[in-house]
A and B are shown apart, each in its own frame.
Chain A
Amino acid sequence: MMSDWSHEIVLAASILSWFIIGAGLAQTTIYLLQLIIAAYALSRRPPVARSALLWHRYGDVAPPIALLVPAYNEEVNVVESVHSMLALEYPNFEVIVINDGSKDQTLQRLIEAFKLVKFRRPYEEALAHEPIRGLYSSPMTERLFVVDKENGGKADAQNAGINVCRAPLFCVIDGDSILEPDALMRAAQPFIDDPERTIAVGGTIRIANGSRIEAGRVREIHLSNRLLPLLQVVEYLRAFLMARLAWSRINTLMLVSGAFGMFRRTEVVAVGGFTKGSMGEDLDLVIKLHRHMRDAGRKYRIQFIPEPVCWTEAPETLGVLARQRTRWQRGALECFFRYRSMLFNPRYGRVGFLGFGHILVVDVLGPVAEVLGYILIPAFWLIGILSTEYLLAFTSLIFTYGVCVSVCSLVLEEAELQRFPRARDLAVLTAVAVIENFGYRQLNNFWRVKGWWQYLRGNQGWGEMTRTGLTGAKK
């Protein structure tokens, strides 16, 4: 009887181990595939180095763009951010700051700095949002409008901005982020090259911690001297340069970051704008766009291009980072289950198979399988249920393939883009790409499992995002 039980326990352990290793293998295969596609995409579309050339080439035919900047309690940075946005190099754009019922002096700071006056501007109430208390324009510049509204969250503020803007394209950006001066021109390029099909474009988000920032511009790029932002630099590189570029190449891009994304207004209005109260409103919008265009049988492109850069501040403490990551995980799960009917649905083609398949493997199953693996595989091996082969296979999937994928994304960056200014930076990042697999990756997965738990319990809080402000970066 006992021997029967032990046989079943071994069988169950083997099946569980196979599931864990299978999930790891699927994830690793996806990453390696993404690397190959991303390398191909970069070789097919090498970046244009000088922004003066872009202006010369596209300046006359660049479409008007509205830059939507939701601001909530941003009194410290808002004036400097708006100044830097007004100085962007683009022929035809307006900046619409949406004060989302800030409790601090955000609106007052803007009124004082730009001598804002109340203004009436007719607009279509195409999307629902909390009431607008007033619109403001500035006699100092025709490009700036401020929408003062009652608090409704980021998605709600963005929807108000979409209603008020008149340009055919709009670009969303976080109030505390910094756009490179040529970022709009670069991001608009797909809308110029293929205006009928392109409906959304995402650019790269880079981490500004450690860089020298003056007057709302990144003057000198430096790596942070703290480990946590450095780890996130490698992480962002992998996410943007590898994953997004690869999926964009095969028109399966599922996420255009809410921190910097450009969209065609008509299509966004047609899908009802950003979903209010969503944890992952950016992912949600892109999925809605895919669904809308596929349901309508229209040809479209949702692209990621690596050159336009938006700088952001990365969390520097474990507590803040943990809150951010659990929220991202809840956002991914929320969108996955909300639109689950698209998964493997032939009607949605590669979006249903590859895009949703990717979310299933990497975001839904991935963290659970990996955390189970950390606990069960060594335990099974120690009590002699599992052979060393299994242990080594799991170890390689977690650690050595992880090193390979992280270093390869750095290789891609250096071979094609060379955005880190010094050889020393590359050496530091190579070391970080190795060590992130020993501790940080595991911690991240723990946070993601925590996000799973919070999702199951219906926790919808955003958590406090403490920021020091980009102006607080190295001076």
Chain B
Amino acid sequence: MWYIWDLSILLSALSLVIMLFLIARRVLQERRGRAQIDQRRQLHTALIAFTENRDREALKVVLLAVPAGVAINAGFEFISLLRGEEYDDVLAAFDECGLPALVGKQLENGNSAERMHAAEMLAALRSENAVASLLSALDRDRSREVRIAAAIALCDLGSLPPLDIALGKVGVAGQRSRRLIELFRRFPPARFEELRDHAARTDAIPFIRAAAIDALAHAAGFHFADFFARATGDQSPEVAAAALRALGLTGHAEAPAILASAMANGDWDVRAAAADAAGRLGLAGLAAPLSALMDDEAWTVRYAAANALRSFGQPGERLLRDIAASEVSRSQRTASLILAEGPAA
């Protein structure tokens, strides 16, 4: 029993000593924090002055006089406000003061939050060694969030490795992240084919394939409509639904037949996407299958179908009113609700 007592005294004494040390550290940090606020102010003043007079030497003096951490963070915040020639001039001054190299070190040695931020800063600083540092992070960093940030930064710098390789380096677990949607949205048009090829791969992760289709639909439009039409028949409901949403944006000659078939799909997400696409494309010829979908077991599908009918204008509204006036059923209730939507009388 004695060891319980002895250990407790030791542990509580130790925790108190550590806490006292942390309090002392905080006192020092408070003093340093006040100094840093002044230094940030100095740097911002110098940067504003630089955008007016372009006196690079004066800016360098201030940059070198403040601690590296202050220079990096305040500098990054400031350049996000600049564009064009001003932006390039400030970057050149940063480069001469060695800031990108410091950010590169942060990408190697910081904690995961700092490394992620460093990857983003390197993309903005566009230094000579940025691509090499980012490729190294994509290749070796132990955090998948950092690897994704590195991939996005490389994409911004136009140096992302082939997509399959980049995604392989991000790792399987990372390929569930919605951050990859952002990566795909930043893809340069010259590499859209790569996105399409990845979206077509049946062995790839459905979430990623769906994200690639969404990105293509928004960025490339009708150019990939045939591909979207084919993908609507995909085994994966997630991919099929994404392809239907894409088709709803681009349209396609075969769209009525494709959507009618998708409305009978076993997955509610696919049926809802098909109904939604029919509404977007204004395919009034699909009124009959849409009316049938208003009796669907899933509310989302019923709602999408009713909305699609409503989007057809007067013919659709007339149909909805007919359904609403019919015998009490799921369709009747859905139609009544949709017709009543809006400010109450």
Which A residues lie at the B interface, using CB under 8 A?
21, 25, 43-49, 52-53, 56-58, 60-61, 63, 117-122, 124, 126, 134, 137, 191-197, 387, 389-390, 392-393, 395-397, 400-401, 403-404, 407-408, 410-411, 414-415, 418, 422-423, 426-427, 430, 434
Contacts and interface: CB of A to CB of B under 8 A. Distances in A.
A195 B176 contact: yes
Contacts of B207: 195-196
A390 B14 CA distance: 24
Nearest to A402: B12
Contacts of B4: 21, 25, 392-393, 396-397
A415 B23 CA distance: 10
A392 B5 contact: yes
Given A43-B111, A192-B177, 16 more contacts: A25-B4, A46-B112, A53-B120, A119-B344, A124-B303, A195-B177, A197-B176, A389-B2, A390-B1, A396-B4, A400-B8, A404-B12, A404-B15, A407-B16, A426-B19, A426-B23
A403 B15 contact: yes
For the complex, would chain B's binding face be called helix, strand, loop or mixed by DSSP majority? Answer: helix
A45 B23 contact: no
Contacts of B340: 120, 122
Interface string B97-117: 000000000000001111011
Given A389-B2, A423-B26, A63 B16 contact: no
Given A126-B299, A197-B176, A393-B4, A400 B23 contact: no
B343 A411 contact: no
B9 interface: yes
Contacts of B113: 45-49
B22 A411 contact: yes
A40 to B, nearest CB: 13
Shortest 6 CB-CB distances between A and B: which pairs? A124-B299, A122-B337, A396-B8, A118-B344, A400-B8, A389-B1
A422 B30 contact: yes
A158 B306 CA distance: 27
Contacts of A126: 299
A52 B176 CA distance: 24
B111 A46 contact: yes
Contact of A403 (B1, B12, B80, B120): B12
Contacts of B185: 60
A407 B19 contact: yes
Given A390-B1, A422-B30, A423-B27, A401 B177 contact: no
A401 B343 contact: no
A403 B182 CA distance: 47
B153 to A, nearest CB: 11
Contacts of A194: 176-177
Contacts of A120: 337, 340-344
A117 B342 CA distance: 10
A57 B27 contact: no
Interface residues of B, number: 51
Interface in B1-47: 1-2, 4-5, 7-9, 11-12, 14-16, 18-20, 22-23, 26-27, 30
Contacts of A389: 1-2
A33 to B, nearest CB: 13
A195 B178 contact: yes
B75 to A, nearest CB: 14
Interface string B294-316: 00000110010010000000000
* Highest count of chain B CB atoms <10 Å: which of A44, A195, A396, A414: A396
Given A407-B16, A414-B26, A427-B23, A57 B112 contact: no
A121 B341 contact: yes
A232 B40 CA distance: 37
B11 A401 contact: yes
A426 B61 CA distance: 38
25 contacts: A46-B112, A46-B114, A48-B113, A60-B185, A117-B344, A120-B342, A122-B306, A124-B303, A126-B299, A192-B178, A192-B179, A193-B179, A197-B176, A392-B2, A400-B9, A401-B12, A403-B15, A404-B11, A404-B12, A407-B12, A414-B23, A422-B30, A423-B27, A426-B26, A427-B23
Given A393-B4, A422-B30, A426-B26, A117 B343 contact: yes
Interface in B111-163: 111-114, 116-117, 120, 145, 149
Nearest to B334: A122
B11 A411 contact: no
Given A411-B15, A411-B22, A63 B178 contact: yes
Nearest to A139: B343
Interface in B324-340: 334, 337-338, 340
Nearest to B16: A407
A423 B178 contact: no
B145 A410 contact: no
A415 B19 CA distance: 9
* Highest count of chain A CB atoms <10 Å: which of B9, B178, B343: B178
A13 to B, nearest CB: 15
A227 to B, nearest CB: 19
A423 B177 CA distance: 39
Interface in B271-306: 299-300, 303, 306
Contacts of A395: 5
A381 to B, nearest CB: 12
Interface in B75-112: 77, 80, 111-112
B76 to A, nearest CB: 10
A47 B9 CA distance: 32
B1 A411 contact: no
B319 interface: no
A396 B9 CA distance: 8
Given A119-B343, A407-B19, A423 B30 contact: yes
Contacts of A197: 176
B336 to A, nearest CB: 9
Contact of B8 (A52, A117, A193, A404): A404
Contacts of A117: 343-344
A48 B73 CA distance: 13
A426 B30 CA distance: 13
A221 to B, nearest CB: 14
